[in-house]
């Protein structure tokens, strides 16, 4: 089926959508993005993603996109037009193009490129991996120093996924100075006793929208949360581990490199958090 996509104010069949070869997103990775999940035809945590998008744009001194209300309307229209029951809405905004290649930014009134498309993922919340858990490898984190900005510079995360695949694993956790930063496309957590441990927010990691919600729900459920750095050794010795993201929600991790956690199956905390997250997010979906 040909999807309807959104490009700079127009809704078009995907085969007719065009972006300039001089677009700075294409030439310089000068763009930011958001991925919002859709469950039962409704958007999960749209406001959180919209707020982070605004922050990313501000941090890069990029012109602002359509108003929030209009953004919501575009998301909803694409979900409806493409009959998305479960899936994702991908949004990307780049600094646009003034028709040539130059390291310097184009004039501030250059029109940004705004692109949105949907991905249908039937049964997104019923992923079999949630029952078996994922295996991750650890790799050096060699990304740039502003990982808090959700830019489209995703080459190293892509390489990390390929390294994981080559090692027969599902994903990679990135490591800086012996401490885990985050997964290639998710935030990383370990569970020790009853304590949930995850790296604190800084420029070293993406400020996950799912992370914020999951930590809030965990605290509301009287679970203990510690936001601090943890080492690879500590992770390998943990009772449980998991990741969070808009597309994976809460996903248990059962193996880190050669270390099998607990019994090698998801423990108590990650599946419980997944259940709470999905219940609460569905209630608040718009
Ligand atoms: N990735 N850390 C990184 C490096 C990410 O790329 C992501 C999201 C997250 C989790 O953020 P959130 O909970 O807001 O989705 C953490 C998205 C899903 C992606 O690139 O497809």
Judge whether 217 and 239 are in contact, CB under 8 Å: no
CA 158 to ligand 1 centroid distance, Å: 13
- The residues near 69 (Cβ < 8 Å, ≥ 6 apart) are none
State yes or no: pLDDT of 84 exceeds 90. yes
Catalytic residue numbers read 150
For residue 55, which of 186, 207, 205, 187 has the smallest C-alpha distance?
207
SS3 for 227?
strand
Sketch out the chain's domains with CATH numbers.
4-122 (3.30.470.10), 129-284 (3.20.10.10)
Atom of ligand 1 nearest to the CA of 52: 14
37 lines ligand 1 (CB under 6 A): no
Q: What is the mean pLDDT of residues 219-227?
A: 97
- For the whole prediction, is pTM greater than 0.95? yes
Residue 9 CB-density burial (10 A; 0-12 exposed, 13-18 middle, 19+ buried): exposed
Rg of the chain over all Cα atoms, to the nearest angstrom: 19
Residue having the nearest C-alpha atom to atom 9 of ligand 1 = 186
Position 37 confidence tier, pLDDT thresholds 50, 70, 90: very high
Which residue of 53, 55, 174, 186 sits with most ligand 1 atoms within 8 Å of its CB, as the best mutation to test the pocket?
A: 186
CA 34 to ligand 1 centroid distance, Å: 8
- The residues near 101 (Cβ < 8 Å, ≥ 6 apart) are 22, 27
State yes or no: pLDDT of 1 exceeds 80. no
Position 67 confidence tier, pLDDT thresholds 50, 70, 90: confident
Write down the pLDDT at residue 97.
93
Position 69 confidence tier, pLDDT thresholds 50, 70, 90: confident
Judge whether 33 and 116 are in contact, CB under 8 Å: no
**Secondary structure letter of residue 16 according to DSSP:** G
Cα 214 to its chain centre, rounded Å, is 14
246 lines ligand 1 (CB under 6 A): yes
Which residue of 32, 245, 249, 274 sits with most ligand 1 atoms within 8 Å of its CB, as the best mutation to test the pocket?
A: 245
Residue having the nearest C-alpha atom to atom 20 of ligand 1 = 185
How are beta strands 31-39 and 4-7 bridged, if at all?
A: unpaired
Helix, strand, coil distribution of the chain in percent, nearest 5: 30, 30, 40
Return mean pLDDT, the chain. 97
CA 72 to ligand 1 centroid distance, Å: 20
State yes or no: pLDDT of 6 exceeds 80. yes
State yes or no: pLDDT of 70 exceeds 80. yes
Residue having the nearest C-alpha atom to atom 3 of ligand 1 = 185
| Residues 91-133: tens digit of each pLDDT | 999 999 999 999 999 998 999 999 999 999 999 999 999 999 9
Torsion sign (Cα): 49, 54, 56, 57? positive
208 lines ligand 1 (CB under 6 A): yes
SS3 for 100?
coil
182 lines ligand 1 (CB under 6 A): yes
């Amino acid at each position: 089926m040909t999807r309807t996509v959104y490009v700079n104010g127009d809704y078009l069949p995907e085969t007719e959508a065009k972006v300039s070869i001089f677009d700075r997103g294409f030439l310089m990775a000068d763009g930011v993005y958001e991925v919002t999940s859709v469950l039962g035809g409704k958007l999960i945590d749209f406001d959180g993603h919209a707020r982070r998008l605004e922050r990313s744009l501000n941090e890069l001194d990029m012109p602002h996109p359509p108003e929030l209300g209009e953004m919501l309307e575009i998301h909803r229209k694409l979900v409806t037009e493409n009959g998305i029951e479960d899936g994702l809405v991908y949004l990307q905004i780049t600094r646009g193009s003034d028709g040539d290649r130059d390291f310097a930014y184009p004039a501030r009134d250059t029109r940004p490129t705004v692109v949105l498309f949907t991905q249908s993922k039937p049964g997104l919340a019923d992923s079999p991996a949630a029952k078996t858990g994922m295996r991750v490898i650890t790799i050096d984190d060699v990304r740039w120093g502003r990982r808090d900005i959700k830019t489209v510079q995703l080459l190293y995360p892509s390489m990390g996924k390929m390294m994981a695949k080559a090692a027969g694993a599902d994903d990679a956790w990135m490591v800086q100075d012996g401490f885990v930063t985050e997964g290639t496309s998710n935030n990383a957590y370990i569970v020790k006793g009853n304590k949930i441990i995850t790296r604190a927010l800084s420029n070293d990691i993406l400020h996950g929208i799912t992370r914020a919600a999951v930590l809030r729900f965990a605290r509301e459920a009287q679970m203990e949360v510690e936001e601090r750095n943890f080492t690879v050794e500590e992770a390998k010795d943990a009772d449980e581990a998991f990741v969070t993201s808009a597309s994976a929600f809460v996903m248990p991790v059962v193996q880190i490199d050669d270390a099998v956690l607990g019994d090698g199956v998801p423990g108590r905390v990650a599946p419980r958090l997944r259940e709470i997250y999905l219940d609460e997010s569905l209630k608040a979906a718009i």
